[in-house]
Amino acid sequence: MSYEDIINHPHHSSSRHPRMSMSQRATQFAPFAALTGHSAAVEETARKTREEMNRDIEHIPVSRDPDSEC
């Protein structure tokens, strides 16, 4: 069977199953949460990284001598 064999056939409609609404189709084909908790773990890692960076910045010595190369 080739594309030319099927191009002019009418679209199939099931007599057993009613046509899905667009929102039902969107729900069915939407990605599922395969990695439950992944988003929360990423957010927590980002929070910890920000805190660590802020602590590191607080410990950087500030030179008051404009001629020093700190």
Predicted TM-score (pTM) of the model is 0.39
pLDDT score recorded for residue 42: 92
CA distance 54 to 60: 10
Does residue 9 fall inside a structural domain? no
Judge whether 8 lies within some domain. no
CA distance from start to end of the chain: 76
Top-confidence residue, 45 or 5: 45
- Count up the domains in the chain and report the number: 1
pLDDT of residue 32: 67
Rg (the chain; Cα; Å) = 30
Is the pLDDT assigned to residue 49 strictly greater than 70? Answer: yes
Query: Is residue 29 situated within a structural domain?
Result: no
Residue 69 — very low, low, confident or very high, per pLDDT cuts 50/70/90?
Answer: low
Average pLDDT of the segment spanning 45-65: 85
Structural domain includes residue 10:
no
**20 domain-assigned:** no
d(CA 15, CA 6): 20
